Amino acid sequence: MNIICLVKFVPDITGFGYDYEASSMVRNHTRMVLNPDDVCALSFAFKVKERHPDSQIQVVSMGPTTVVPHMHDLLRIPVDKGTLISDPLFAGSDTYATSEVLGSYLKTQSFDCILSGSRSLDGATSQVPPQIAEILSLDHMLDISEIDVEKISPTEAVFSVEGERETTTWSMQLPGVLSLGRSSTCKLPYPSYADLQRDVSDKLTILTNKELGLDPSHVGLEGSLTKVVNTYDANSRRRAKTVVETNEEGIEFVFSYLKDRGFV
Amino acid sequence: MKRILILQDTELPKRSNDLLEVCNRIYGSEDHEAWLLAFSSDRENLPEGFERIILVQDEGILTEDARYICAIIMDLYSHHAFDTILIPGTWLGRMVAPRLAKQLHVGLVAEINDVQRNKDTLEFVRTAYSGNVLAGITMTSNPPIILSIKPGIFSWEPESLPKTIIQHYDKKITSPSSLTCLERKQRPVSYDIRDSEVLVSGGGGAKRAYPLLETLAEALSGDVSASRKLVDQGIAKRTIQVGQSGKIVSPRLYVAIGIDGAIQHVEGLHNVETILSVNTRPDAPICSISDVVVVGDAKIFIEKLLQKIALENEHTTPDQYTSDRGERE
CB-closest option in B148, B183, B288 to A238:
B288
Return the sign of the alpha-carbon dihedral for residues A64, A67, A68, A72.
Answer: negative
Number of domains making up chain B: 2
Pairwise CA distance, residues B97 & A131, whole Å: 9
On whether both B153 and B206 belong to a single domain, the answer is: no
What's the mean pLDDT in B176-187? 92
**B206 with B283, same domain?**
yes
What is the structure's pLDDT at A178? 98
Q: Rounded to an integer, what distance in angstroms lies between the CA atom of residue B145 and that of residue B138?
A: 10
**Residues B38-91 pLDDT 10s:** 987 777 888 999 999 999 987 666 788 999 999 999 999 999 999 999 999 999
Same domain, B197 and B161: no
**Calpha distance B216→B209 (Å, rounded):** 11
Residues 6+ apart with CB under 8 A from B224: B199, B200, B201, B202, B213, B214, B217, B236, B240
SS3 A210: helix
* Chain A hits for B219, Cβ within 8 Å: 264
C-alpha pair distances (Å), A256 with each of A32, B96, B245: 46, 49, 34
Residue B14 lies in a domain: yes
Q: Are residues B40 and B149 in the same domain?
A: yes
For chain B, percent of residues with pLDDT exceeding 90: 62
Closest to B101 (Cα-Cα) out of A102, A104, A61, A126:
A126
Asked if B133 and B8 sit in the same domain, the reply is yes
Read off the pLDDT band of B178 (50, 70, 90): very high
Look at A122 and B130 and tell me if their CB atoms are within 8 Å. Answer: yes
**What is the rounded average pLDDT for all residues in chain B?**
89
Chain B residues with CB under 8 Å of A128 CB are 98
pLDDT 10s digit of each residue in chain A, 264 long? Answer: 999 999 999 887 665 566 666 656 565 556 888 998 999 999 999 999 999 999 999 999 999 999 999 999 999 998 999 999 999 999 989 999 999 999 999 999 999 999 999 988 777 678 999 999 999 999 999 999 999 999 999 999 999 998 878 899 999 999 999 999 987 678 898 888 888 889 999 999 999 999 999 999 999 999 999 988 888 876 566 777 899 999 999 999 999 999 999 898
- The answer to whether position B240 is within a domain reads yes
Output DSSP code: residue B163: P
Q: Let me know: does A161 contact A99? Beta carbons within 8 Å.
A: no
**Contact: B189, A164; criterion CB under 8 Å:** yes
Instruction: Report whether A174 contacts A154 (CB < 8 A).
Output: yes
Asked if residue B188 belongs to a domain, the reply is no
Which one, of B76, B1, B2, lies nearest residue B38 by Cα? B76
| Chain B residues with beta carbon closer than 8 angstroms to that of A257 | 276, 292
Q: Assess if residue B65 is contained within a domain.
A: yes
Judge whether B139 lies within some domain: yes
Residue B323 has pLDDT above 50, yes or no: no
What pLDDT, on a 0 to 100 scale, did the predictor assign at position B328?
Answer: 38
Q: Do A139 and B107 touch (CB under 8 A)?
A: no
d(CA A71, CA A76): 9
Which of A14, A20, A40 is best to mutate for the B interface (most B CBs within 10 A)? A20
CA-CA-CA-CA torsion sign (A168, A170, A176, A180): positive
DSSP conformational letter for B83: S
User: Are B156 and B16 members of one domain?
Assistant: yes
Minimal CA separation from B61 to chain A, in Å: 10
Does residue B20 share a domain with residue B158?
Answer: yes
- Comparing CB atoms, the residue among B11, B111, B304 nearest residue A246 is B304
ipTM value for the complex: 0.89
Among A164, A173, A186, the strongest candidate for a mutation testing the B interface, having the largest count of B CBs within 10 A, is: A164
Q: Which residues are within 8 A (CB) of A236 and not within 5 positions of it... i.e. 6 or more apart?
A: A23
Tell me the per-residue pLDDT of B279-296, one tens digit each, with 9 for 90 and over.
Answer: 999 988 899 899 999 999
Identify whether residues B11 and B109 lie together within a single domain: yes
**Cα B256-B262-B266 angle, rounded to 5 deg:** 60
B150 in the same domain as B23 = yes
Give the Å distances, CA to CA, from B252 to B197, B212, B218, B224, B328: 5, 21, 15, 14, 19
Indicate if B145 and B266 belong to the same structural domain.
no
Does some domain include residue B118?
yes
- B-chain residues near A93 (CB < 8 A): none
| Residue contacts between A and B (CB atoms, under 8 Å) | 261
Domain map (residue ranges) of chain A: 2-223
> Domain containing B239: what range?
193-328
For residue A228, the cross-strand partners are B137
Q: Which of B95, B148, B297 sits opposite A246 (nearest CB)?
A: B297
Q: Do B66 and A130 touch (CB under 8 A)?
A: yes
Under the banding of pLDDT at 50, 70 and 90, the label for residue B325 is very low
pLDDT score for B313: 82
Same domain, B158 and B35: yes
* CA closest to B234 among chain A residues: A184
CATH of A2-223, one of 3.30.470.10, 3.40.50.620, 3.40.190.10, 1.10.600.10: 3.40.50.620
In the prediction, which pLDDT does A249 show?
94
**Chain A CB contacts of B294 below 8 Å:** 244-246, 250, 254
Residue B174, domain member (yes or no): no
Among B106, B238, B309, B321, the residue to mutate for chain A (most A Cβ within 10 A): B238
Among residues B112, B135, B169, the one where a domain terminates is B169
Q: A98-112, A224-238, B158-172, B301-315: which has the minimum mean pLDDT?
A: A224-238
Is A140 close to B285, i.e. CB distance below 8 A?
Answer: no
**Residue B309 is part of a domain; what is its CATH number?**
3.40.50.1220
If asked whether residues B94 and B238 sit together in one domain, one would say no
Evaluate whether B49 touches B79 at the Cβ level (below 8 Å). no
B182 in a structural domain: no
Q: Are B275 and B201 in contact (CB under 8 A)?
A: no
